[in-house]
């Protein structure tokens, strides 16, 4: 599987890696495609042509019968990227077949069953905004209405918002870790920004011009996760109608991010350990040994050391993935960044809608700054979006966020705090908060939490959380 050659490398001497990454030597652009419910592939674009198809010569390989061997290509002219169709089945934009088209930030096109998103710095990605969003915002947030300022949105290092000591520490750690090739384990609560840290590490590394593959171990059925990671051969199990490459093969030469690795089934952990140590994999149902060159970054909202003590996670795998461990603080520990983030989310809404949105009153600013945010930055973003829709037109008042108080009940007075660790208690409170916000609809709650519904049911049993009234 070929990949575009990386453009001339810059010397890292004399400047932090993340500052070198911000030098606008050329426009930063990428393709993003969801391969399955739990796996997303991001492919960087540069000065070299990128071929898309199901053949071995493709740079971005998509395995489906309706995808041609060489289906389409993307090439660059100046600072612009163009998509050219080379297939019989067609490439589609907004349901219309295209022969050649200029790609603009936020545009999506379809090849076979795959919806591929084109993202470019300065554009508006169609995907969900990152947990800690790109850009900065002035402080304090003004109470007057916020208007979009196209093309004027400032940027911050590696997409982090905020100037707190915690953010500066994280940036420094990314700088030091990124230039190595060591495995990294990122610890932190749900919604705190672990995936953004992983992207930052990839972006400053020597692998930055190769694929970045995200696998959410908590969103994939335990029966399918081995196939997602290592691929499978045709006929290896019911439903395997064709050969398929797994995440490790797709990420060859780049970085694989194993999100919520604490959810990985125990029987699969030895296979993952062997792949990391031997740098080789075998597809499900196959005998061929395939060499893979990937950097592994993992993340968890669990305390894996306690999971090891409970025999829920292998100690040898933990030591293999945690050569370097980074901790992402919860939002309540960096309150000075809350209003900066809130202002950014308001500007983001204004740019998406093309209309002015409310500012934030001093009373609302005090409320936001003092709230504990069990769902962290993700919860703050959702709260701002809801308040804009339901609140006043001129400015948001503290009453526009009253739903946060009703959706975040205090934990019941039981013995949980003595039974569960601090990590587990925080996870339990976050689950309770999200369930209440979703009116106890478990399907929606699992989606917002970024975990499989089966995983949510396991956690409900673990934390002895009972559904009030009828089970939904």
Check whether 241 has a pLDDT greater than 50: yes
What is the pLDDT at residue 468?
67
- Of the pLDDT bands very low, low, confident and very high (cuts 50, 70, 90), residue 282 is very high
Q: Do 28-121 and 165-234+243-327 share a fold? A: no
Assigned CATH class of 422-463: mainly alpha
Enter the DSSP assignment of 285: T
CATH number for 28-121: choose from 1.10.3720.10, 3.40.50.300, 2.60.200.20, 2.60.40.10.
2.60.200.20
Q: Mean pLDDT throughout 354-373?
A: 90
Q: H or E stretch including 61?
A: strand 60-61
Between 147 and 36, residue with greater pLDDT: 36
Q: Quote the pLDDT of residue 37.
A: 74
Tell me: pLDDT of 30 over 90. Answer: yes
In this prediction, residue 291 carries a pLDDT of: 95
DSSP string, 328-355: PPPGGG-GGGHHHHHHHHHHHHHHHHSS
On the question of pLDDT at 16 being above 60, the answer is no
CATH class of 332-406: mainly alpha
Q: How far is CA 96 from the centre of its chain?
A: 30
Q: Where are the domains of the chain?
A: 28-121, 165-234+243-327, 332-406, 422-463
Please give the share of the chain, as a percent, with pLDDT higher than 70.
82
Burial of 442 (0-12, 13-18, 19+ CB in 10 A): middle
Question: What's residue 13's pLDDT?
Answer: 36
456 band by pLDDT with thresholds 50, 70 and 90: confident
Confidence at residue 187, expressed as pLDDT on a 0 to 100 scale: 96
Residue 155 has pLDDT above 80, yes or no: no
Q: Show the DSSP H helices in 310-421 as ranges.
A: 315-321, 338-353, 362-370, 376-390, 403-407, 416-419
Reported as a single tens digit per residue, the pLDDT across 402-424 is 888 865 444 444 444 456 666 67
Convert the pLDDT of each residue in 257-278 to its tens digit.
Answer: 999 999 999 999 999 999 999 9
Domain 165-234+243-327 is in which class? alpha beta
Query: Cα separations (Å) of 24 from 103, 155, 223, 256?
Result: 19, 12, 44, 26
Whether the link from the prior residue into 224 is cis, omega within 30° of 0, is: no
Segment 382-396 shows an average pLDDT of: 88
């Amino acid at each position: 599987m070929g990949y575009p050659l990386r453009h001339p490398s810059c010397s890292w001497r004399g400047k932090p890696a993340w500052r070198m990454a911000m030098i606008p030597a050329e426009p930063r652009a990428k393709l993003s495609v969801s391969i399955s419910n739990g796996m997303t592939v991001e492919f960087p674009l540069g000065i070299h042509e990128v071929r898309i198809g199901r053949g071995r010569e493709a740079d971005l390989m998509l395995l489906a019968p309706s995808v041609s061997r060489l289906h389409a290509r993307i090439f660059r002219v100046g600072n612009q990227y163009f998509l050219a169709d080379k297939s019989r089945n067609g490439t589609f934009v907004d349901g219309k077949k295209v022969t050649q088209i200029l790609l603009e930030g936020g545009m999506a096109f379809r090849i076979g069953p795959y919806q591929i998103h084109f993202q470019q710095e300065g554009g508006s990605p169609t995907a969900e905004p990152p947990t800690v969003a790109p850009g900065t915002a002035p402080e304090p947030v003004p109470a007057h209405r916020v208007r979009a300022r196209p093309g004027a949105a400032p940027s911050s290092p590696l997409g982090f918002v905020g100037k707190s000591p915690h953010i500066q520490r994280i940036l420094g750690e990314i700088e030091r870790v990124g230039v190595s090739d060591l495995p990294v384990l990122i610890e932190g609560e749900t919604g705190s920004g672990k995936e953004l840290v992983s992207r930052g590490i990839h972006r400053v590394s020597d692998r930055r011009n190769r694929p970045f593959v995200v696998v959410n171990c908590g969103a994939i059925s335990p029966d399918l996760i081995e196939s997602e990671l290592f691929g499978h051969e045709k006929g290896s199990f019911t439903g395997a109608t064709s050969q398929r490459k797994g995440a490790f093969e797709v990420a060859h030469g780049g970085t694989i991010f194993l999100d919520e690795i604490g959810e990985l089934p125990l029987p699969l952990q030895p296979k993952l350990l062997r792949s990391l140590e031997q740098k080789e994999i075998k597809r499900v149902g196959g005998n061929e040994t395939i060499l893979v060159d990937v950097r592994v970054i993992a993340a968890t909202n669990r305390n894996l050391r306690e999971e090891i003590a409970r025999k829920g996670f292998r100690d040898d795998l933990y030591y293999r993935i945690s050569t370097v461990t980074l901790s992402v603080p919860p939002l309540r520990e960096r309150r000075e960044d809350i209003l900066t983030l809130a202002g950014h989310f308001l500007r983001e809404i204004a740019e998406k809608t093309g209309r002015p949105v409310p500012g934030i009153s001093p009373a609302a600013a005090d409320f936001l700054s003092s709230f504990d945010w069990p769902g962290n930055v993700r919860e703050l973003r959702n709260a701002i979006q809801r308040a804009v829709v339901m609140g006043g037109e001129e400015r948001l008042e503290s009453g526009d966020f009253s739903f946060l108080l009703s959706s975040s009940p205090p934990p019941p007075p039981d013995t949980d705090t003595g039974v569960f660790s601090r990590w587990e208690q925080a996870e339990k409170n976050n689950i309770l908060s999200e369930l209440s916000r979703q009116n106890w609809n478990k399907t929606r709650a699992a989606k917002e939490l970024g975990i499989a519904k089966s995983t949510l049911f396991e956690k409900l049993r673990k934390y002895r959380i009972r559904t009030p009234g009828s089970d939904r």
